[in-house]
Amino acid sequence: MMRRIAGLGVVVATIVLGSTIGLGCEFVFSHDRILASLGTVGEIGVRVQKTHTRCTLSSMDEYQFAWENVQILGSTAWENVDRDLYEKWFRVSLSEIGEGYLMISKTCSKNGYEEAILPIDVLGPDDEDGVWSQAMVGTYPLDEPVRATIESVAGFGAYMDRILTVGDISFELPNSGASSFEGDLGEIRLFFTVAADEEMLPLLIVSERLFVRYDHLMEVES
């Protein structure tokens, strides 16, 4: 049903989730479930079939998304692919071991609140040559940012009020699209850039359970 091939390395079986005859919308994901390792990157598609002749929502932007244990690295605009049928794609990275999800929801005056949830199970890394394994030994595994030097620091990490502290280094973390984390993070490795003006920006946080990216927020070498 979906036009794109997902890159998460899992079996794809597209089904209707959270839709029932008589409801105002039918939600369809490109997967029925995702089961993949920490640091895996791929695409997830979602379609909305509007079943009312007159939809009370003024814009597709009124559909809301929430997620846990994944990062949204980017997304497409909504595309009208057929009569009352809309499609959107997310590029995601699995960021924390455990049970996560991607959820779509909406509230309208005709049918009230409706939602559909795509379960996402993030497993421990299983590829000794993968991005997580490279990062854990101190090798930056992603595309390098333009005109900046990459450095890393390892140690006990703590996060509070958007401030990450590792040793004697502190960063105010940008909104990365990751699930929020708070308090003690245990032993982590932080990769960061040092630009020509000596400004330091975070690139990647990695630990036994985390793979949280910030590289997608800046220009990188292709």
**73 and 25 in one domain?**
yes
Residue 4 included in any domain: no
**148 and 118 in one domain?**
no
| pLDDT tens column, 85-98 | 999 999 999 999 99
Q: Return the pLDDT at 147.
A: 75
Q: How far apart are CA 185 and CA 204, in angstroms?
A: 14
Distance of CA 74 to the CA centre of its chain: 8
Stretch among 14-28, 56-70, 153-167, 172-186 having the lowest mean pLDDT: 14-28
Q: What is the pLDDT of the chain when averaged over all its residues?
A: 84
With a cut of 60, say whether residue 7 has pLDDT above it: no
CATH number of residue 88's parent domain: 2.60.40.10
Give me the sign of the Cα torsion angle 179, 90, 29, 5.
negative
| pLDDT tens column, 49-80 | 988 767 778 889 989 999 999 999 999 999 99
If one counts the domains in the chain, the total is 2
Domain that holds residue 158: 131-217
Percent over 90 (pLDDT), the chain = 55
Residue 5 included in any domain: no
Element (H, E) at 131: helix 131-136
**116 and 136 in one domain?**
no
Choose one of 103, 123, 143: the last residue of a domain: 123
pLDDT band at residue 219 under the 50/70/90 scheme: low
Residue 1 included in any domain: no
